[in-house]
A and B are shown apart, each in its own frame.
Chain A
Amino acid sequence: MIGILDYGMGNLFSVSSALEGLGVPFIISDNQAKLNETDALILPGVGAFKDAMTCLEDQKHVEFIRSYAKKKPLLGICLGMQLLFEESEEHGLTKGLSLLPGRVIKFSGFSPKTGKSYKVPHMGWNTLSIKQPESCLVKGLSDQYAYFVHSYYVHTNKPEVVIATADYDVDVPAVVGDGQNVFGTQFHPEKSSECGLSILKNFIEYAALQKQTNA
C-alpha cells in the first residue's frame, strides 16, 4: 500500500490515476496513523514552496515526514521534491524539510554562457542525463524524456544526492535521493509517459523490497 499525503497542495488526481493504472493499491490521506501503515509515502506538490511549508507545519506533518523517511521510502514529486531540501528562496527564504542538502533557487532567465536570455518556467519535455545508473529509481528506463514545469530548481554542492539531471542552461537536478529512503523527481513522473511510469514502478518495487527486508 502506497500513501499519498494530502496536505492541500498537490495534484492528487494525476498521481493517484497513475498508481491506479499500474494496479498499485494506495490511499490518499492526511491521517498520520493511517499513513504510518503504508509501505511508502508520496509527497506531491504544486504551487509555491512557502505556502506548502506553511500547510505542512500547520498540519504538523513536518516531523511526521522526517520520521517516516527514517523507516520507509519517501518520494517527493515536483514541489514535493523541492520541499525535501534545506531551504528555498521562493517568496522569501523559507526552511524546508532538510532531508537532503541543497537550496531551491530561481532560474535567472539569462545565460552567462551564451549571453542570451532563456524562458522561465522550464516547461516541456527534456532529456534526463543519468548520473547514478546504479540507483534503483532509474533502472531500465525505456526512454529518458520527462515532462518538466518549474521556475525554481535545486542547487546542491553534494553530487552524491543527484541521480539524474536535465540540461536547462544549468544542470537541473531532476532525480534526487540520499541513497537510502529519500527520493525525489523534479518532473511529474505521472505525466512523463513511459519514462515516468518506469520510475514510479521502480519506486514501488523498492518499497516492496524494503518491506520484505524489514519484515
Chain B
Amino acid sequence: MLTKRIIPCLDVKEGRVVKGIQFLNLVDAGDPVELAKHYNDEGADELVFLDISASREGRDTMVDIVKKVASTLHIPFTVGGGIKSLEDIKRILRAGADKISLNTSAVLNPQLIKEGADFFGSQCIVCAIDAKYDPENNRYVVYTHGGHEKTSLDAIEWAKEVVRLGAGEILLTSMDSDGEKKGFQLDLTQKVSRAVSVPVIASGGAGSLDDFYQVFTKAQADAALAASMFHYKETTVGKVKSYCKQKGVHVRWI
C-alpha cells in the first residue's frame, strides 16, 4: 500500500541552511548536505530544498549542493526557489535533483509548467501554491513572491490549471497557518486534494504529532511538509511516523 510521506524542508541561503521566522531573523543552521543526511537517517521520505539566495553566486552554490546531496542520499528530493526558465530547470535536474518546484514563475509564466513537463516529464515538475483565505469573498487566494504579492487567482482553480498544464504534484502552503503551529489548514488542503488528480503535499502549520495524522486522514493529503518543527528538534521524523503508524496511517517504516 502507498504510504503517506513526511518531508522536511530546508531553506538554503547562499549555500547554508538558515532558520528564521517568516524569513526574518535568519540564523545559520548548518551545512545542507549534512542536514539532509541527518533527516534521511531519521527516516524522511523525501526532502525539499528551498533556495532563498539573493545572489547569482548563491544560486550557483545551490547546484553544487544538489550534486553533493544526490551522491550522498538515496531518497528523492525537490529543489525550489528562483527557478525561472527551462534552462534553470535543466541545470538543477542535471545536477541530480529529482523534481523542481515552481511558484512565482509559474504564475508569471504558466507555459513554463507545460514546457518543463513536456521536456522532462510531469513527474519532476512540482507546482508550489501559497494560498491565503479571503474572508470577504470566502475563497482562497494565491500569493507570489514569498507571500508578498496578492494575485487575483483562486487557489483551487489555479491548482486545476497547473495540473492541466502538466504539474505532477502540488506543494500547497497555507499562509494563514504557516508559522502558527496550530495545525495544517485542513479545509484548503482537502479542497485542493479533491480538485486535482495528482498528489498534494500539505505545508504550513505543523505543530504537533496529531497535526500530521489530521491532515492525512481528514484532508486526504498525500504528504506533509514541515520545517521548524524538525529544525528546532521539537520532534523527529521518526516520532511523527511512529505516531501516525500507531493511529493506523501507512507510513514507510525503517
B-binding residues in A (CB < 8 A): 11, 13-14, 17-18, 20-21, 46-48, 109, 117, 119-127, 143, 145, 147, 149-151, 167-168, 188, 190-194, 196-197
Looking at the assembled complex, report how far the CB atom of A143 sits from the nearest CB atom of chain B, in whole angstroms. 6
- Cβ contacts A to B, 6 pairs, < 8 Å: A20-B71, A121-B122, A126-B3, A145-B254, A191-B75, A194-B254
A145 in contact with B2 (CB, 8 Å): no
Contact of A196 among B74, B169, B198, B252 (CB under 8 A): B74
Contact of A125 among B3, B40, B98, B169 (CB under 8 A): B3
Closest Cβ neighbor of A196 among chain B residues: B74
Supposing A17-B71, A119-B197, A192-B74 touch, asked if A124 and B3 sit within 8 A by C-beta, the answer is yes
Question: Residue B1 at the A interface, CB < 8 A?
Answer: yes
Closest Cβ neighbor of B98 among chain A residues: A191
Closest Cβ neighbor of B200 among chain A residues: A119
A18 in contact with B74 (CB, 8 Å): yes
Chain B 239-253 against A: per-residue CB contact (8 Å), 1 yes, 0 no? 000000000000011
Looking at the assembled complex, report how far the CB atom of B190 sits from the nearest CB atom of chain A, in whole angstroms. 14
Write out the residue numbers on chain B whose beta carbons fall within 8 Å of the beta carbon of A194.
Answer: 74, 254
> Which 5 residue pairs spanning A and B have beta carbons closest together?
A17-B71, A125-B252, A149-B123, A145-B252, A13-B96
Contact of B199 among A123, A190, A192, A193 (CB under 8 A): A123
Cα distance, A125 to B223, chains bound together (Å)? 11
We find that the number of chain B residues with CB closer than 8 angstroms to chain A is 31
A125 in contact with B122 (CB, 8 Å): no
Question: Residue B183 at the A interface, CB < 8 A?
Answer: no
For the A-B complex, the count of residue pairs with Cβ-Cβ distances under 8 Å equals: 90
Write out the residue numbers on chain A whose beta carbons fall within 8 Å of the beta carbon of B76.
Answer: 147, 149, 188, 191
Looking at the assembled complex, report how far the CB atom of A194 sits from the nearest CB atom of chain B, in whole angstroms. 7
B74 in contact with A197 (CB, 8 Å): yes
A125 in contact with B71 (CB, 8 Å): no
Cα distance, A117 to B76, chains bound together (Å)? 26
Cα distance, A119 to B98, chains bound together (Å)? 20
Looking at the assembled complex, report how far the CB atom of B65 sits from the nearest CB atom of chain A, in whole angstroms. 14
Looking at the assembled complex, report how far the CB atom of A81 sits from the nearest CB atom of chain B, in whole angstroms. 15
A123 in contact with B96 (CB, 8 Å): no
A145 in contact with B3 (CB, 8 Å): yes
Question: Residue B45 at the A interface, CB < 8 A?
Answer: yes
B198 in contact with A121 (CB, 8 Å): yes
Closest Cβ neighbor of B251 among chain A residues: A125
Question: Residue B5 at the A interface, CB < 8 A?
Answer: yes
Cα distance, A188 to B168, chains bound together (Å)? 17
- With A11-B93, A46-B124 already in contact, 4 other A-B pairs whose C-beta atoms are closer than 8 Å: A124-B3, A124-B199, A125-B3, A126-B2
Cα distance, A14 to B94, chains bound together (Å)? 10
Looking at the assembled complex, report how far the CB atom of A93 sits from the nearest CB atom of chain B, in whole angstroms. 20
Supposing A119-B199, A123-B123 touch, asked if A191 and B74 sit within 8 A by C-beta, the answer is yes
A125 in contact with B45 (CB, 8 Å): yes
Which residues 143-181 of B have a CB within 8 angstroms of A?
Answer: 168-169
A119 in contact with B74 (CB, 8 Å): no
Cα distance, A147 to B199, chains bound together (Å)? 14
Cα distance, A183 to B94, chains bound together (Å)? 26
A124 in contact with B123 (CB, 8 Å): no
Write out the residue numbers on chain A whose beta carbons fall within 8 Å of the beta carbon of B123.
Answer: 46, 121, 123, 149-150
Looking at the assembled complex, report how far the CB atom of B49 sits from the nearest CB atom of chain A, in whole angstroms. 16
Question: Residue B20 at the A interface, CB < 8 A?
Answer: no
Question: Residue B70 at the A interface, CB < 8 A?
Answer: yes
Write out the residue numbers on chain B whose beta carbons fall within 8 Å of the beta carbon of A20.
Answer: 71
